[in-house]
């Protein structure tokens, strides 16, 4: 059964609904498509380990105990992520740089929204749009509440989400997983003008893209 076939099956939708509801009780809220992606990957992992067909795993191995385990894993992973996000050291930048980062996040959101039409990219793109929206709200709040327009502290989840979104966008554009909107000639592993612009904005908040174009330590943006 293909990945798309698994995700579209009635059993996966049923398990995803159960996972979403049970995670909500643990104060972990999964966005649309995220629960389905978690179930699909879990089924595929079990099928690979046991040498069984994915349909067999869906019907015979995803009972109450399996769902208990999956909810525990998701909740634990979320707790680690929340703790890491809440303790991220802030960076201090000016209002103009905050605006540049917000614009970059808007571009990332636009590119991710275009990928929502593709089944294979749906869950990843949806996650980026959600994180980008959260980051934009957080940066806007920091800008609005700053007494000094030249010294705006960006930290916590807003900083983590912003870095994550820009990093993922650059990575997906570089390997051509996502379609780029600029007019450059695109080659795998090489940075186009849009990737370079996003990398500069990522540097403003202390991040940098991975891979062969990663800048030297002295050329990176503000450190966190």
- The string of DSSP codes covering 99-116 is HHHHHHHHHHHHHHHHHT
- CA 122 → CA 23, 35, 129, 173, 202, distances in Å? 21, 12, 11, 16, 24
What pLDDT is recorded for position 4? 52
What pLDDT is recorded for position 166? 94
What pLDDT is recorded for position 5? 61
Overall average pLDDT of the 196-218 stretch: 72
Overall average pLDDT of the 107-129 stretch: 86
Which residues, including other chains, have CB under 8 Å from residue 36's CB and lie 6 or more apart? 7, 12, 13, 16, 123
Overall average pLDDT of the 140-153 stretch: 91
What pLDDT is recorded for position 189? 67
The overall longest dimension of the chain from CA atoms, in Å, is: 61
What pLDDT is recorded for position 96? 95
Q: Is the pLDDT of residue 201 over 90?
A: yes
What pLDDT is recorded for position 127? 82
> Residues of the chain with pLDDT > 90: what percent?
45
Overall average pLDDT of the 166-174 stretch: 89
Q: What is the mean pLDDT of the chain?
A: 84
pTM of structure: 0.65
Between residues 194 and 31, the one the model is more confident about: 194
From the list 80, 42, 66, 44, the residue with the least C-alpha distance to 160 is 80
Q: Look at residue 53 and give its three-state secondary structure.
A: coil
Q: Would you place residue 29 in the very low, low, confident or very high pLDDT band (cuts 50, 70, 90)?
A: confident
Overall average pLDDT of the 40-64 stretch: 92
Site of tokens 């992606």: 37
Q: Is the pLDDT of residue 190 over 90?
A: no
**Residue 37: alpha-carbon gap to chain centroid:** 13
> Residues of the chain with pLDDT > 70: what percent?
87
Q: Would you place residue 18 in the very low, low, confident or very high pLDDT band (cuts 50, 70, 90)?
A: very high
Q: Is the pLDDT of residue 217 over 70?
A: no
Q: Is the pLDDT of residue 224 over 70?
A: no
Q: Is the pLDDT of residue 196 over 90?
A: yes
Q: Is the pLDDT of residue 152 over 50?
A: yes
Between CA 173 and CA 197 the distance in angstroms is 12
Q: Would you place residue 214 in the very low, low, confident or very high pLDDT band (cuts 50, 70, 90)?
A: very low
């Amino acid at each position: 059964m293909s990945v798309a076939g698994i995700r579209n099956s009635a059993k996966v939708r049923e398990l995803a609904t159960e996972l979403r509801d049970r995670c909500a009780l643990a104060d972990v809220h999964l966005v649309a498509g995220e629960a389905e992606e978690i179930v699909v990957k879990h089924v595929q992992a079990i099928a690979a380990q046991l040498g069984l067909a994915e349909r067999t795993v869906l019907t015979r191995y995803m009972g109450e105990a399996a769902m208990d385990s999956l909810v525990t894993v998701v909740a634990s992973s979320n707790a680690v992520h929340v703790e890491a996000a809440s303790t991220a050291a802030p960076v201090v930048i000016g209002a103009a740089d905050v605006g540049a980062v917000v614009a970059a996040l808007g571009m990332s959101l636009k590119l991710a929204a275009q990928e929502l039409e593709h089944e294979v990219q749906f869950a990843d793109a949806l996650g980026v749009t959600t994180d980008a929206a959260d980051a934009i709200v957080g940066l806007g709040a920091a800008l609005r509440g700053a007494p000094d327009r030249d010294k705006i502290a960006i930290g916590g989840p807003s900083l983590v989400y912003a870095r994550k979104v820009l990093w993922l966008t650059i990575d997906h554009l570089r390997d051509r997983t996502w379609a780029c909107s600029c007019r450059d000639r695109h080659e795998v592993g090489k940075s186009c003008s849009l990737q370079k612009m996003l990398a500069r904005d990522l540097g403003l908040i202390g991040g940098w893209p991975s891979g062969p174009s990663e800048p030297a330590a002295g050329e990176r943006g503000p450190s966190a």
